[in-house]
Structure 1
Amino acid sequence: MSALIVTSKINEHRLWKTLMELAEIGASPNKEEGVTRLSLTKEELEAKQYIIQLMKDIGLEVRMDAVGNVIGKLLGTDPLASSVMVGSHTDTVFHGGRFDGSLGVLGAIEAVRTIKEANMKLKHSIEVVSFTDEEGSRFGTGYIGSKAMAGVLKEETFELKDKSGVSYREAFLHAKLDPTKYKEAIRKPEEIKAYIEMHIEQAKVLEESDLSVGIVTDIQGPVWLDVTLVGDADHAGATPMTMRKDASIAMAEVMIEVEKIAQCHGGVGTVGYVKVEPGGVNIIPGKASFTIDLRHVNKMERSKMVKEIYQSVSKSCEKRMIEWHIDVKKEVDPTSCSPDIVKSLEEACIHLNFPVKKLQCGAGHDSLIMSEITEMGMIFVRSKDGMSHNPKEWSSREDCADGTALLFQSLIKLAK
């Protein structure tokens, strides 16, 4: 393969400035509660406008597609050639950090701005994308923008409601988007040569290896389950232990099994949300609701995990004469990154004198969905203490610049 061309250096100060500016949108007043930009809220829509303005400032062709994905295009020399796509998301979890998703979008913008400033002429157009609702924190299901682009978004998604009773359909309309036109966001596989995403690692592998960047080889696929258990709410003092239909105890048994099942299969399992009702100190809980997040890089092993969770819920509820129901809120297959893109990233690391470090990805990303329609690759940037989805989330200015330099080199190689 031909050598990479390096004629410019990433502007570290400028990249950091945009990261800190975006972090102000949705930030808590005292900063201690982090950043909250849930999908299609006022804060997230303001973030979209910030990204749009940045893209316009550097001369990209900017548009918002039918589901709110923000796309900025740097035209290549061949208008008929497929595009190289790069990006991430700017929505956050409740009380999230400043880097998750945002680094991938702003780093992509900075890399493309550096290409423009160097007056490089590339055959393939580069499209920087900020996807709508990767996190799924507001409506309970994520990857909305990438699913729409890949043609796998389901119409029933728009009937989901947030905790305030607002439906996705209503949120779309409030954002001046037409939910009936979501299929207009679909992109054909022949339109996209490759998709590459830079993201903070959200783990400690790079930190423990004392490395600023790494190359992802595989991505775990998540399954999200909403579990509801219904027993009887009775008096805490008057009801004998042998006569109770306590939904909270059944839930506790299942929570322990989640840990055992995940460890047994080499995956991960998390109970992240729990609610018991009626919620009185002297009332036996008649209803328990909770979520289960299961992940694995192997689809077959993950299927075994899901099956065993169902068996565990059924067994515990049958023993206690409790009714149960499970809704599958999200199910995305695990995937592997393109060997060609992984190789290209290795060559870019060597060119930049970065040690080559390959690692798996435990979190879900839009890359998972985009792999269904194109070749896909990911760059990881070191996370301090492995912290993520937390106000303490941190990646240093220097590490962010290193990741963006690697992204810059990769885009040149993919688009030339």
Structure 2
Amino acid sequence: MNARPEPVGDMHAADHALAERLFAEIAAMTPDTEGVSRPAFSDIETRTLKYLEDFARSEGLEVWYDAGCNANFSLPGDREAERFAVIGSHVDSVPFGGNYDGLAGVVAGLVCLVRAHRMGQRFARPVHVLAMRGEESAWFGPCYIGSKALTGTLAGREMDARHKGDGRTLEAHMEQIGLPVDDIRAGKPLIDLDRIEAYLELHIEQGPLLVGKDIPAAVVSGIRGNIRYRSITCFGEAGHSGAVPKAYRRDPVLAMADLLVRLDESWTTILNKGDDLVLTSGVVATDPEKHAMSRIPDSVSFSLDIRSQKASTLDDMRELLESEMREIERDRKVRFETGEELRVEPALCDRDLVSGLEKAMVRTGLEPFIMPSGGGHDAAVFAGAGVPSAMVFVRNRNGSHNPQEAMEIDDFLAGVDILFAFLAERP
């Protein structure tokens, strides 16, 4: 039962054509030298939302923007519903990214609405589709900016983060677009969270599990939290590469390497104990303007991303990082500065929603499969704010955050069918 049944009937043919069109036209609007780039809180992101607005209106859907300048969509008459479910995700991308990360979740929600509207069908409960700004951390450092702003959980220090390109603060970018930055700094939710009875998010899988198991879609059980340091700097002492003996060196690059090896060894130990952890240093650099092959650098900077499904493991890793840095400082006569720490707590998906999506999966003709999410998602923010949340993953080859993302439309529609079946019959 793991193979996706072939799409049949006019409905699936129409959905297939619609999804292909939306993905292709948005990709054509937002190209970069490789892949796509839709920067958070940018004109490109705004144009993407406007495209979705125009499309939704052409299909007879209701469209409006919330205080976070995110686009919202619903069937006619459902905008003012007292209670509703939300299908949400983000439209921004990483630089030189793939077209499906985030966008697939928004398109999934729109396909559900368009299918229902064309069939003259209503869902068991009203449904709003939410196309959010600013989920990716690549542009400013903090992640889930749009959903944090909506839920009143975006920290003031995060608003002071600076854009990797123009150096302007996140607050300045938000204010330029029209977001109420004073309310956001005050921790005031920009939407009425009590009206949301469920937050659902479809997303491409960012790992290889569904490909390996030959399963087109899955239900997500929980989402890893993370501790992130955008730039840890190790300071040493510059010197000539051939003239300074080892005993006299204060080499920050070797100190950084020593730290990462120690963390890697601890990672293996934690996994062997049965706990969950992933560890990444995605940015490593010395200053190319002053450093050279024949020069011992005086500093090196690197990022660190620590993720786990357990908050206690994140706490343990923070303590380990601190103790290992102090020991290396003594041994190698260097100094570490971590800079600002960003943290998102792990989130469990709502059990009732997971069970309902699992049953919906069966109704679509698929064998149910439940898995954890390694990557973080806006669903974690809504869950942390007390909104029952759950996710559906869609099979995707070649990982994510790169132009080689390879989601098949038939697999995407398998995920859409799960959402649609759940929303159509939810008690």
Question: Please, what TM-score do these two structures have when normalized by structure 2?
Answer: 0.89
Asked if the contact 2:125–2:423 (Cα under 8 Å) also holds between the matched residues in 1, the reply is no
- The reply on whether 1:310 has 2:322 as its aligned counterpart is yes
The alpha-carbon deviation at position 273 of structure 1 amounts to 0.7
The alpha-carbon deviation at position 44 of structure 1 amounts to 2.1
Distance 1:279 1:63, change over 3 A: farther
Asked if the contact 2:88–2:109 (Cα under 8 Å) also holds between the matched residues in 1, the reply is yes
Of all paired residues, the percent bearing the same amino acid is: 26
Asked if the contact 2:225–2:376 (Cα under 8 Å) also holds between the matched residues in 1, the reply is yes
Q: Does the residue aligned with 2:417 lie in a helix, a strand or coil?
A: helix
Asked if the contact 2:69–2:178 (Cα under 8 Å) also holds between the matched residues in 1, the reply is no
Distance 1:78 1:63, change over 3 A: closer
Taking the aligned partners of 2:250 and 2:69, their CA distance within structure 1 comes to 46
- The reply on whether 1:228 has 2:233 as its aligned counterpart is yes
Q: CA-to-partner distance for each residue in 1:136-190, whole Å, 9 max, x for gaps?
A: 1110111011111222112232211123322112222333444234356533332
Alignment of 1:382-397 (within 5 A): 382-385=395-398, 387-397=399-409
Q: CA-to-partner distance for each residue in 1:351-379, whole Å, 9 max, x for gaps?
A: 11111111111000000001122111100
Asked if the contact 1:379–1:403 (Cα under 8 Å) also holds between the matched residues in 2, the reply is yes
Counterpart of 2:20 (choices 7, 16, 19) is 16
Question: What residue number does 2:393 align with?
Answer: 380
Taking the aligned partners of 2:260 and 2:35, their CA distance within structure 1 comes to 28
- The reply on whether 1:256 has 2:255 as its aligned counterpart is no
Counterpart of 2:191 (choices 182, 187, 212) is 187
Taking the aligned partners of 2:218 and 2:314, their CA distance within structure 1 comes to 25
Taking the aligned partners of 1:255 and 1:412, their CA distance within structure 2 comes to 49
Where structure 2 has 5 or more consecutive residues not aligned to the other structure, the ranges are: 1-8, 272-276
1:172 is aligned with what amino acid? M
Taking the aligned partners of 1:171 and 1:97, their CA distance within structure 2 comes to 24
Counterpart of 1:217 (choices 203, 212, 221) is 221
Distance 1:94 1:243, change over 3 A: same
Alignment of 1:64-75 (within 5 A): 64-74=65-75
Alignment of 1:328-367 (within 5 A): 328-367=340-379
Taking the aligned partners of 2:60 and 2:36, their CA distance within structure 1 comes to 29
Equivalenced residue count is 406
Taking the aligned partners of 1:329 and 1:410, their CA distance within structure 2 comes to 38
Distance 1:388 1:123, change over 3 A: closer
Q: Does the residue aligned with 2:39 lie in a helix, a strand or coil?
A: coil
Asked if the contact 2:122–2:424 (Cα under 8 Å) also holds between the matched residues in 1, the reply is no
Taking the aligned partners of 1:209 and 1:263, their CA distance within structure 2 comes to 25
Distance 1:353 1:223, change over 3 A: same
CA RMSD in angstroms comes to 2.2
Question: What residue number does 2:280 align with?
Answer: 270
Taking the aligned partners of 2:409 and 2:137, their CA distance within structure 1 comes to 28
Alignment of 1:33-72 (within 5 A): 33-72=34-73
Taking the aligned partners of 2:193 and 2:153, their CA distance within structure 1 comes to 13
- The reply on whether 1:172 has 2:174 as its aligned counterpart is yes
The alpha-carbon deviation at position 80 of structure 1 amounts to 5.2
The alpha-carbon deviation at position 398 of structure 1 amounts to 0.9
Q: CA-to-partner distance for each residue in 1:71-111, whole Å, 9 max, x for gaps?
A: 22335669553111112111111211111111101111111
Mean alpha-carbon deviation: is it higher for 363-372 or for 158-167? Answer: 158-167
Q: CA-to-partner distance for each residue in 1:211-254, whole Å, 9 max, x for gaps?
A: 11111111111111231111222232333322222111111111
The alpha-carbon deviation at position 344 of structure 1 amounts to 0.9
Distance 1:78 1:141, change over 3 A: closer
Asked if the contact 2:26–2:48 (Cα under 8 Å) also holds between the matched residues in 1, the reply is yes
- The reply on whether 1:25 has 2:32 as its aligned counterpart is no
The alpha-carbon deviation at position 135 of structure 1 amounts to 1.1
Asked if the contact 1:230–1:288 (Cα under 8 Å) also holds between the matched residues in 2, the reply is yes
Question: What residue number does 1:117 align with?
Answer: 118
Asked if the contact 1:98–1:394 (Cα under 8 Å) also holds between the matched residues in 2, the reply is no
Question: What residue number does 2:294 align with?
Answer: 282
The alpha-carbon deviation at position 130 of structure 1 amounts to 1.5
Question: What residue number does 2:131 align with?
Answer: 130
Q: Does the residue aligned with 1:223 lie in a helix, a strand or coil?
A: strand
Question: What residue number does 2:419 align with?
Answer: 407
Distance 1:311 1:172, change over 3 A: same
Question: What residue number does 1:159 align with?
Answer: 160
2:45 is aligned with what amino acid? E
Q: CA-to-partner distance for each residue in 1:325-366, whole Å, 9 max, x for gaps?
A: 113442111111111111111111111111111111100000
